[in-house]
Structures are given as C-alpha cells and as structure tokens.
C-alpha cells in the first residue's frame, strides 16, 4: 500500500465531489490538476480531477 497523508479541507471537498467518502481516503500524490488517492483499508488507488 502507498503511504498516504490525511487530506486537507480543500482536498476533502474534491474527494466528496468525485463521489467518495473523504474519511476513507488518503492522499498519496497531489498534482496541480489531479489527486492520487488510496483507500485506507483496501489499498485501492484512484486518480480524481478536483
């Protein structure tokens, strides 16, 4: 599993807007136009556009 960090408030809003529960996801790479997130328990990774 990738080592993720807790999302900021702005990142939480972007995760929620993408249809995911922000408390279940961690940020492992934050780029200018996309977020790479990893699920806390399953390790599933997703790329979202904020």
Does a structural domain hold residue 34? no
d(C-alpha 38, C-alpha 32), whole Å:
18
- The predicted-structure confidence for 18-31, as pLDDT tens digits, reads as follows 999 999 999 999 99
Total number of domains in the chain: 1
Q: Which residues of the chain have pLDDT under 50?
A: none
Which of helix, strand or coil describes residue 13?
helix
What per-residue confidence (pLDDT) applies to 50? Answer: 78
Structure token pair of residue 46? 């997703």
Q: Is residue 38 part of a domain?
A: no
CB-based contacts of 43: which residues, under 8 Å, 6+ apart?
A: 1, 2
Question: Which domain, by its residues, includes 17?
Answer: 1-25
Q: What is the pLDDT of residue 9?
A: 97
The reply to whether 36 falls in a domain is no
SS3 29: strand
Domain-embedded: residue 45: no
């Amino acid at each position: 599993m990738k080592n993720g960090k807790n999302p900021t408030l702005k990142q939480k809003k972007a995760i929620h807007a993408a249809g995911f529960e922000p408390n279940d996801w961690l940020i492992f790479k934050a780029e200018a136009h996309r977020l790479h997130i990893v699920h806390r328990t399953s390790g599933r990774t997703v790329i979202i556009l904020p």
